Amino acid sequence: MALITKAIRGTQDVLPSESAAWQYIERTALSVARDYGFREIRTLVFEHTELFTRSVGETTDVVQKEMYTFDDKGGRSITLRPEGTAGAMRLLLEHGLHNEVLPVKVAYVTSCYRYEKPQAGRLREFHQFGVESYGAGSPLADAEVIALADATLRALSVTGVTLRLNSIGCPTCRAEYHKALTAYFEGKKDELCGTCQDRLGRNPMRILDCKSPVCSAIAADAPVITDYLCDDCVAHFEKVQAYLTAAEIPFELDPHIVRGLDYYTRTVFEFVSDALGAQAVLCGGGRYDGLCEEMGGPHLPALGFAMGLERLLMVLKAQNAALPEEPRCEVYFASMGEAAAQKCFMLAKGLREGGVTAECDTVGRGLKAQMKYADKLGALYTVVVGDNELESGTAKLKDMQTGETTEIALDDSLYTTLYNKSLDRQLAGVADLLREGLEA
């Protein structure tokens, strides 16, 4: 029995006490995306395996080591999505969104699956906020997507983040770079790990992304892609930097960023936190202008990013950010007797329909036990209803924080009174947030 009551290694549940923070992050991210004109999509949990081997790249760690792949009952090879971009591009092509007015801009919150060694900030089931922009080849589109990532982090009050920027060129200039990399690593082939020795003959750029300390040390002195960019890629990259500078989005150039997936071209970027140690990348993305053609579609310039929600939550907690807590019960109705229980149920139902969190007894507790339960819930107000209250049509509304009691009618005016109290607290909460923002 122990096996079936324990989560699979590398996965984690979200408890009621944590869900409010998750909802806040997801809601904020999608709201910022909406402000930038990105519409929400929801892609499939599993796809045909070939979708990922062709798009992500057969030489990547994701495809070679990390995908959850299996044959279904029809003998088809199926893979749980290891990332969001390939599935989003499949959705675009299958449903003809690329035939709409361009650019087509989409956003999503999704789960992904990779068989990796579990550690802090790296799970086998993890979640991402991502965006994809299709049909815009201008450097301004690169700057817009980067600005969206920056705006999302700022909306969540994440601090201590650095934007690192690079260009990995187009297929034309990368061909020359591959020659230079191959020549460099050939002289050190015997020192490379077995995986990188295989990569050397297939895609030497993947060696730059190896996590082995030995390979990383060797790669640190390798030629850099920015020395091999063609004139068009240089001009594109310079304009991206100019737009970011004009938008007052600070960045650092990092010629060692290549990203871990083969579909990237030209601009690549990462937002790196100073709060997570080794697992420092909060957000990564870039341009992938050849992906649509690789998947059988027309030429369609595209770019996007993915932001890890687990890591984002870790950073917010590490920075003691003010995260929403589990919603509190606003009104608890304590009843004595069957008639009172029925009345309390109807009163609670009316409040719930108006957006006020209300509770009443459903397990047959005595009055004393109900009041203890209301206290555990953190109820802001309690109303006790018994035969006397039913006869008089009134009851005492008790403020559980101050102890103050107010007589309240057990009719429709109760709803108005409690709605107003709830609204007053919400407005006070908004005022507190605004005040905190101004002080910050």
Q: Where are the domains of the chain?
A: 16-170+230-318, 331-439
pLDDT over threshold 70, residue 433:
no
* CB count in 10 Å sphere of residue 165: 22
Which fold does the domain 331-439 belong to in CATH?
A: Rossmann fold (3.40.50)
Long-range pairs for 232-236 at CB < 8 Å and ≥24 separation? 232/170, 233/167, 233/169, 233/170, 233/173, 233/266, 234/167, 236/139, 236/142, 236/167, 236/266, 236/267
pLDDT value at residue 331: 93
The residue among 298 and 437 whose pLDDT is bigger is 298
CA distance 48 to 77: 6
Task: Report the range of poorest mean pLDDT among 20-24, 76-80, 235-239, 421-425.
Answer: 421-425
Asked if 261 and 168 touch (Cβ cutoff 8 Å), the reply is no
Please state the rounded mean pLDDT for residues 2-24: 89
Domain 16-170+230-318 top-level CATH class: alpha beta
Residue 121 has pLDDT above 90, yes or no: no
Q: What is the mean pLDDT of the chain?
A: 89
Q: How many CA atoms lie within 13 A of 29 on its CB side?
A: 29
Reported as type and span, the H/E element at residue 423 is helix 412-439
Tell me what the mean pLDDT of segment 36-40 comes to. 97
**The two domains 16-170+230-318 and 331-439 share their CATH topology (first three levels equal):** no
Long-range contacts of 29-32 (CB under 8 A, 24+ apart): 29/107, 29/109, 29/129, 29/152, 29/155, 29/156, 29/307, 30/107, 30/109, 30/129, 31/155, 32/148, 32/151, 32/152, 32/155
Answer for the pair 124, 118: CB distance below 8 angstroms, yes or no: yes
Looking at residue 185, what is its pLDDT? 87
Tokens 């109900």 locate to 370
- Position of tokens 């990399």? 181
List for the chain the helix, strand, coil content (%; round to 5): 45, 20, 35
Mean per-residue pLDDT for 257-271?
A: 84
pLDDT given for residue 430 in this prediction:
43
Please determine, for residue 431, whether its predicted confidence score (pLDDT) is greater than 90: no
pLDDT tens digits, 166-223: 999 998 988 888 888 888 888 888 888 888 888 887 788 878 877 788 888 888 888 8
Residue among 345, 379, 376 nearest 361 (CA): 345
Asked whether 85 and 130 are in contact (CB, 8 A), the reply is yes
Q: Give the Cα separation of 192 and 171 in Å (integer).
A: 25
Least confident of 202-206, 258-262, 274-278: 258-262
Judge contact between 104 and 92, C-beta under 8 A. Answer: yes
d(CA 165, CA 250): 10
SS3 of 210, please? coil
pLDDT tens for 62-104 read 777 789 999 999 999 999 999 999 999 999 999 999 999 999 9
Q: What is the pLDDT of residue 428?
A: 53
Residue 169: per-residue pLDDT? 92
pLDDT in the model for residue 261: 64
Predicted local distance difference test score (pLDDT) of residue 434:
42
Average pLDDT over residues 237-264: 90
Q: What is the mean pLDDT of residues 261-286?
A: 85
- 182 burial level (CB within 10 Å; 0-12, 13-18, 19+): middle
Cβ-based burial of 24 (10 A; exposed 0-12, middle 13-18, buried ≥19): middle
Residue 286 has pLDDT above 60, yes or no: yes
Residue among 148, 145, 129 at smallest CA distance from 137: 145
Q: What is the pLDDT of residues 152-174, one digit of tens each?
A: 999 999 999 999 999 999 989 88
CA 58 – CA 55 distance, rounded (Å): 9
Most confident listed range (268-272, 279-283, 403-407): 268-272
- Angle, alpha carbons 33-36-39 (nearest 5°): 55
Q: Is the pLDDT of residue 111 over 70?
A: yes
Confidence (pLDDT) at 437: 44
Q: What is the pLDDT of residues 327-383, one digit of tens each?
A: 889 999 999 999 999 999 999 999 899 888 999 999 999 999 999 999 999 999 999
Average pLDDT for 94-116: 95
